[in-house]
């Protein structure tokens, strides 16, 4: 399919609390190159800022980032600040806290609840903002998230954070957090070729409660932080051919088709790939195509 003149608005909108976003957003992790996680080399700075500006031109108004997205030469937050400040009024920037890395790039131990203020303040500083639109608590394996989420709720009461969200959680963690403060979004790993009963339950629960569900690695699949997968089932390739689209676009279209509350945050450092990702919002899978892809997803389990 041609991506000419297709904007993020083609995918429709959803609300993160009181903030309306187009369902096709942008994940900032790859802006710094996969070296952000000790793989590959840092991406070109000018190209990264050009991708960000192009994303906004194409109607993307939801960017997902984190202070721990950095390489030896690049910081995703700093690139976002440089490329887009002063920020458009409708731009929603979501960030994550919980994991952290030292300035040398080494991962630190799991954050304590009293560490989270520093994480929030560092994101504020890097992004040049007085308030963070959405902050995800990324669970780091702990059984209970009450203390950590409670610490973020206090920062929300102080006005440093507008809305709270969760990442890498089970339904019981969502219920635990909701006893403390509203949750506007859940971000879990979810992809066509990756089936986990708990994650699929979370997808359903979020839909029932009007909470956004934001999959990460939806295109990357098993490639994860390293790169997008190149392993595509014949079913995916056949649907791609029918829509004159790439298999990665079909994987993303299937993700969006899981419900109106599902938001996509594909990341790229390539302007052409960016346009292809945004164009996915115009793909409408048939009932038969969706059923076939859903079967493929279940078989992955």
The pLDDT score that the predictor gives to residue 101 is 82
Q: Which residues contact 99 (CB under 8 A, 6 or more apart)?
A: 66, 68, 107, 108, 110, 111, 138, 140
Say how far apart CA 28 and CA 47 lie, in whole Å. Answer: 13
The encoded tokens of residue 208 equal 């029932």
Say how far apart CA 185 and CA 23 lie, in whole Å. Answer: 13
Q: How far is CA 224 from CA 27, 189, 207, 235, 272, in A?
A: 13, 10, 25, 22, 21
Active-site residue 195, yes or no? no
Minimum mean pLDDT among 90-104, 111-125, 266-280, 281-295: which range?
90-104
Minimum mean pLDDT among 10-24, 64-78, 120-134: which range?
64-78
Q: Work out the pLDDT band at 32, boundaries 50, 70, 90.
A: confident
Q: Is 109 helix (H, G, I), strand (E, B) or coil?
A: coil
The pLDDT score that the predictor gives to residue 230 is 55
Measured from the Cβ of residue 70, the count of other Cβ atoms closer than 10 Å reads: 22
Checking if the pLDDT of 260 tops 50, the result is yes
| From 69, 87, 103, 136, the catalytic residue | 69
Measured from the Cβ of residue 154, the count of other Cβ atoms closer than 10 Å reads: 16
Higher pLDDT, 97 or 99: 97
Average pLDDT over residues 39-45: 62
Mean pLDDT of the chain: 90
Checking if the pLDDT of 40 tops 70, the result is no
Q: Work out the pLDDT band at 3, boundaries 50, 70, 90.
A: low
The pLDDT score that the predictor gives to residue 279 is 97
Q: Is 24 helix (H, G, I), strand (E, B) or coil?
A: strand
pLDDT tens track for 115-140 = 999 999 999 999 999 999 999 999 99
Average pLDDT over residues 251-277: 95
Give which of 87, 112, 80 is closest to 99, Cα–Cα: 112
pLDDT tens track for 186-238 = 999 999 988 777 788 999 999 999 999 999 988 865 554 444 555 678 899 99
**CATH number given to 8-299:** 3.20.20.100
Question: What string of DSSP letters covers 178-202?
Answer: HTTS---EEE-B-BTTB--HHHHHH
Checking if the pLDDT of 281 tops 90, the result is yes
């Amino acid at each position: 399919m041609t991506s000419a003149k297709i904007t993020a608005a083609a995918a429709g909108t959803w609300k993160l609390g009181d903030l309306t976003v187009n369902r096709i957003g942008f994940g900032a992790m790859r802006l710094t190159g996969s070296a952000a996680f000790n793989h590959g080399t840092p991406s070109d700075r000018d190209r990264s800022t050009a991708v960000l500006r192009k994303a906004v031109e194409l109607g993307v108004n939801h960017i997902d980032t984190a202070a721990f997205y950095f390489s030896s030469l690049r910081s995703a937050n700093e690139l976002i600040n440089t490329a887009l400040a002063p920020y458009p009024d409708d731009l929603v920037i979501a960030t994550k806290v919980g994991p952290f890395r030292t300035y040398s790039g080494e991962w630190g131990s799991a954050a304590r609840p009293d560490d989270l203020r520093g994480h929030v303040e560092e994101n504020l500083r890097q992004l040049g903002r007085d308030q963070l639109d959405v902050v995800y608590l990324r669970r780091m394996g702990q059984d209970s998230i009450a203390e950590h989420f409670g610490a973020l709720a206090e920062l929300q009461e102080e006005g440093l954070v507008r809305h709270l969200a969760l990442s890498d959680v089970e339904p019981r963690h969502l219920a635990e957090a909701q006893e403390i403060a509203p949750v506007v979004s859940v971000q879990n790993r979810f992809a066509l070729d990756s089936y986990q009963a708990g994650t699929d339950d979370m997808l359903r629960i979020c839909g029932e409660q009007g909470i956004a569900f934001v999959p990460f690695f939806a295109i990357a699949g098993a490639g994860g932080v390293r790169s997008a997968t190149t392993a595509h089932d014949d079913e995916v390739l056949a649907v791609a051919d029918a829509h004159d689209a790439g298999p990665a676009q079909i994987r993303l279209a299937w993700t969006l088709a899981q419900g109106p509350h599902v938001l996509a945050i594909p990341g790229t450092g390539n302007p052409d790939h960016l346009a292809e990702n945004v164009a996915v919002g115009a793909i409408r899978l048939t009932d038969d195509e969706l059923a076939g892809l859903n079967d493929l997803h279940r078989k992955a389990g």
